[in-house]
């Protein structure tokens, strides 16, 4: 089916701007715009007439508004997120009784301020941008908090429908450092937890938080899988994911090795020249390069010179090649480097020194 996507049948996703979306890659569908985490509980939204119509339209071959990113990739002859990701993970699934919850309702506290992160996903990121007077409003939407009352109502809705939940994808902020995340995990009955797989998108900088630790989750739930964000190594990692403690992070990697499904490298202008090195450095782990910075455009690899060489070099990384094939936007690469240098004045590691070899020649030719 040319428009079927398993995400609409299996996943309840909400972002840190309180918006329900069909998946994290989709724009907001106008037919479900009225639903958000501050006025509607997750299963109320997921089992609504509007969502049922979207699912029926997919099965009838109709294109769905909000899914244009996937359609554009397919029109160019590339594999889209729905093809290689959702339809591969979930196969043909029209049963809405095996649900994957991916709700950003726990808060956006994060101890890192990654230079490419959407600011609504990280409190540290927002604080750093404010301190440096960098206007990021053109690049993302604002963070919308979930009140205590709404959070409690949402938790009640989840617990009332816990028999439908097969998987919970926990994100943040940094999920392992969010009170609400741990509180929700405690409230899930043991008998249900044994049927639920937890997957985390985590920076893995801390394994303990207050009275809790990750081993409690491993003991309680069916399984725990960690998708670890890791965009480089050494000083380059320390700058990109400032202010990460690299030594502590690497210790945690090996402590949790048996539970790590993959290291997720987000590909941007600061690491695209080094993907082979990164893969080699983390040879003991499965390293993936599916996460691509598409926006803001100033940090997208579409705008770097010498793209032809990289397209040939990275044939085995299809999502990287797809972004490289996009039209170059004049002046955007230089603006990206200028932004990094402005951000650099707030960081203890010198951008100009550690990225000199990978940006100077490109910057000179831009």
User: Domain boundaries in the chain?
Assistant: 68-365
Nearest to 353 by CA among 241, 245, 236: 236
Q: Burial-class residue 281 by CB neighbours within 10 Å (0-12, 13-18, 19+).
A: middle
Pick from 78-87, 154-163, 309-318: least confident: 78-87
Question: Does the N-terminal peptide bond of residue 187 adopt cis geometry, omega within 30 degrees of 0?
Answer: no
Copy the structure tokens of residue 297: 């455009």
Identify the H or E element spanning 44.
helix 42-46
Q: Is 11 exposed, middle or buried (0-12, 13-18, 19+ CB in 10 A)?
A: buried
Lowest mean pLDDT among 87-96, 121-130, 195-204: 87-96
Mapped onto helix, strand or coil, the DSSP state of residue 349 is coil
Q: Please give the pLDDT value at position 333.
A: 94
CA 267/CA 272 separation, integer angstroms: 6
**How far apart are the C-alpha atoms of 86 and 24, rounded to whole Å?**
11
Displacement of CA 292 from its chain's centroid (Å): 10
Phi-psi region for residue 200, left (φ > 0), alpha (ψ -120 to 50) or beta?
beta
Which CATH fold would you assign to the domain 68-365?
A: TIM Barrel (3.20.20)
CA–CA gap between residue 260 and residue 285 (Å, rounded): 8
Distance CA 245, CA 254 (A): 15
Task: Say how far apart CA 275 and CA 145 lie, in whole Å.
Answer: 36
pLDDT in tens, 336-347: 999 999 999 888
pLDDT of residue 139: 66
Contact 43, 12 (CB under 8 A): yes
Assess whether pLDDT exceeds 70 at residue 141: no
* Residue pair 351/317 in contact by the 8 Å Cβ criterion: no
d(CA 23, CA 25): 5
Span 174-187, average pLDDT: 96
Tell whether the model's pLDDT for residue 199 goes beyond 60. Answer: yes
Task: Quote the pTM value.
Answer: 0.88
pLDDT of residue 358: 65
Cβ atoms of 21 and 14 within 8 Å: the answer is: yes
- Across the chain, mean pLDDT equals 91
Distance between CA atoms of residues 179 and 181, nearest Å: 5
User: What is the spatial distance between Cα 272 and Cα 289, in angstroms, rounded to a whole number?
Assistant: 10
CB atoms within 10 A of CB 123: 20
Largest pairwise CA distance in the chain: 61
What pLDDT was estimated at residue 366?
39
Element (H, E) at 224: strand 223-229
Look-up: residue for tokens 């902020």? 173
Strands 20-21 and 165-170: unpaired
């Amino acid at each position: 089916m040319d428009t079927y996507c398993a995400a609409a049948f299996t996943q309840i996703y909400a972002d840190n701007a309180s918006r329900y979306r069909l998946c994290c890659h989709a724009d907001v569908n106008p037919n479900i715009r009225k639903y958000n985490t501050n006025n509607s509980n997750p299963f109320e939204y997921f089992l609504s007439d509007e969502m049922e119509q979207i699912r029926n339209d997919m099965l009838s071959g109709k294109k769905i508004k909000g899914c244009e990113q996937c359609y554009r990739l397919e029109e160019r002859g590339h594999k889209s997120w729905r093809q290689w990701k959702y339809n591969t993970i979930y196969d043909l699934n029209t049963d809405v009784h095996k649900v994957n919850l991916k709700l950003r309702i726990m808060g956006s506290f994060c101890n890192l301020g990654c230079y490419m992160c959407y600011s609504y996903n990280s409190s540290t990121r927002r604080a750093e941008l404010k301190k440096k007077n960098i206007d990021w409003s053109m690049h993302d939407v604002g963070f919308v908090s979930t009140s205590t009352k709404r959070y409690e109502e949402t938790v009640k809705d989840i617990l009332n429908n816990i028999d439908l939940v097969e998987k919970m994808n926990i994100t943040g902020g940094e999920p392992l450092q969010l009170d609400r995340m741990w509180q929700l995990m405690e409230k899930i009955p043991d008998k249900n937890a044994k049927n639920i797989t937890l997957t985390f998108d985590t920076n893995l900088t801390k394994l303990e938080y207050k009275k809790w630790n990750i081993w409690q989750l491993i003991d309680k739930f069916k399984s725990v899988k960690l998708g670890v964000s890791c965009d480089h190594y050494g000083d380059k990692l320390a700058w990109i994911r400032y202010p990460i403690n690299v030594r502590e992070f690497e210790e945690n990697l090996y402590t949790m090795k048996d539970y790590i499904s993959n290291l997720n490298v987000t590909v941007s202008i600061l690491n695209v020249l080094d993907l082979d090195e990164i893969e080699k450095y983390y040879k003991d782990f499965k390293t993936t390069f599916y996460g691509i910075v598409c926006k803001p455009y100033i940090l997208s690899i579409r705008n770097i010179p010498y793209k032809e060489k990289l397209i040939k070099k990275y044939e085995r990384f299809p999502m990287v090649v797809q972004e490289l094939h996009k039209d170059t936007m004049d002046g955007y690469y230089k603006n990206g480097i200028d932004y990094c240098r402005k951000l650099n004045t707030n960081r203890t590691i010198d951008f100009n020194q550690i990225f000199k070899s990978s940006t100077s020649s490109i910057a000179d030719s831009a």
